[in-house]
Amino acid sequence: MKDRKPVQTELNLQNVTGPVLYSHPIPERIGSLYTNEVIRFFIPIDFFKSSSDLHPNNLFGTNVYPITSPLPAVCVHQGIISKISSRPEETFAGARVLNIYEDEDNYALDRVERFELKNVTEKVIGVDLIIRITGIRSYFEGSKQFDVKTKGSMTITAHGFAVIFGQTIYSQVEAFDMELLSLLKQLPDDSFYDERNWLRFGLTGEPIDCYDVRDFCDDGIPFSKWLSQKLRASSLYFDTMTDRYEMAMMLNGDKIILKLAKLHQPLQSIAQIRSDGTPIKQTSKTYMMDQIEWENVEWSEEGVTINGEFFGPIVSYFWAKRKRPLQ
């Protein structure tokens, strides 16, 4: 994939709404955030080298997108906001920082970093993200300056600080400028604006990755290497229009064997599956095939053919880390 130069354009901030709370305007102080509120953010992209940089899987990393507007600068990790820094108010001389994690297992204070707002040009490309706040560990508020020490002995100076637990309920890449959108559609690289929905709602009503056969093509990479990065560490789950399936691996001596199971109804949520660990317990699924060799797994545009039997069309999929041996 060829890189391209960043598109230099400006955004009329008067035409952008966000961040806003559905119930009332964005609070001036962190302390006015309460659990079970739904909050919506627009995450502007400061720069990009290629359209693949705008895929949510690439956005959810360590990048911070600095801005100079009421919009927040956000760092997200695997779909969960981990840093938000709003513009300083007159009584807020420093950065306001929120840390939002998926659950307490992922809570780590050493992820906190001081974020300085920078004077940069706004870009019109970004991610529209909605989260549901599920819990607040602690917070400070007011104009007093707080020094927060991390586990890595780093000192963070902030005028507002909170550790928030939240759940992503919607994420969609957006463009607020039709001229720029038209320009991007004319580019030869079609991996971003190609009429695809990057995230879809799965059978349990949660946003998960849109199925794309390109995600499962090894492009000549040896299977043992691809597998070591994926199936050795995680189990694969994919949704058809009616059912959810689990694909997990086991070692039979030196031979790698896959098993395919159909999950029982009512389906567990993705959050529950990831919390309980995978492969999920045998009482919650029915094995469809076992002793599957990788050579007999064929991914296609519509779905997957295993040992000659087609499963699909696959609508969406997700990975969940392994915590127990395959039964």
User: Mind listing the pLDDT tens digit for each residue in 268-306?
Assistant: 988 889 888 899 999 999 999 988 988 888 888 889 999
Write the pLDDT tens digit of every residue in 101-128: 444 444 333 333 322 323 223 333 455 5
Is residue 237 a part of any domain in this protein? yes
- Name the pTM for this structure: 0.45
User: In whole angstroms, what separates CA 234 from the centre of its chain?
Assistant: 16
Domain boundary (166, 193, 220) is at 193
What confidence score (pLDDT) does residue 206 get?
65
With CA atoms as reference, report the closest residue to 143 among 126, 123, 158, 121: 158
- The count of domains in the chain is 2
In a shared domain, residues 162 and 261: no
Predicted pLDDT at 260 = 96
Q: What is the mean pLDDT of residues 34-54?
A: 47
CA 195/CA 175 separation, integer angstroms: 13
pLDDT attached to residue 213: 80
- Under the banding of pLDDT at 50, 70 and 90, the label for residue 327 is low
Distance CA 220, CA 293 (A): 18
Confirm whether 185 is domain-assigned: yes
Q: Are residues 128 and 239 in the same domain?
A: no
With cut-offs at 50, 70 and 90, classify the pLDDT of residue 256. Answer: confident
Residue 183 sits in the same domain as residue 250: no
For 261, the domain range is 207-321
Residue 287 lies in a domain: yes
Sign of torsion over alpha carbons 126, 131, 135, 140 = positive
Query: At residue 219, does pLDDT exceed 60?
Result: no
Other residues' Cβ atoms within 10 Å of the Cβ of residue 68: 14
In a domain? residue 198? no
Which of 11-20, 222-231, 310-319 holds the top average pLDDT?
A: 310-319
- Tell which residue, 258, 241, 253, 250, has the closest CA to residue 295: 258
Mean of pLDDT values over 251-270: 85
Residue 233 vs residue 223, higher pLDDT = 233
Name the band, by pLDDT with cuts 50, 70 and 90, for residue 201. low
Please give the radius of gyration of the chain, using alpha carbons only, rounded to the nearest integer. 22
User: Strands 73-77, 38-44: parallel, antiparallel or unpaired by DSSP?
Assistant: unpaired
111 and 41 share a domain? yes
Q: What integer pLDDT is reported at residue 250 of this predicted model?
A: 80
- pLDDT of 24: 23
Same domain, 53 and 144: yes
Give CA–CA dist 326/41, Å, rounded: 39
Q: How far apart are CA 135 and CA 105, in angstroms?
A: 13
Indicate whether 34 and 174 sit together in one domain: yes
Average pLDDT for the chain: 56
Which residue type does 269 have?
S
> Which percentage of the chain shows pLDDT scores above 70?
32
The verdict on residue 6 lying in a domain is no
- Examine the domain organization and report whether 247 and 305 are in the same domain: yes
Other CB atoms within a 10 A radius of the CB of residue 317 amount to 21
Query: Is 270 inside a domain boundary?
Result: yes
Task: Give the pLDDT band (50/70/90) at residue 324.
Answer: confident
Does 180 share its domain with 253? no
**How many residues appear in the chain?**
327
| Same-domain check for residues 68 and 37 | yes
3-state SS string for 232-262: CCEEEEEECCCCEEEEEEEEECCEEEEEEEE
Whether residue 253 contacts residue 187, with contact meaning beta carbons closer than 8 Å, is answered with no
Return d(Cα 286, Cα 63) in angstroms, integer.
Answer: 41
User: Are residues 253 and 289 both part of a single domain?
Assistant: yes
Are residues 213 and 186 located together in one domain of the fold? no
What is the reported pLDDT for 285? 95
Tally of CB atoms within 10 A around 155:
9
Q: Which position has the higher pLDDT, 290 or 67? A: 290
Pair 288, 147 in one domain: no
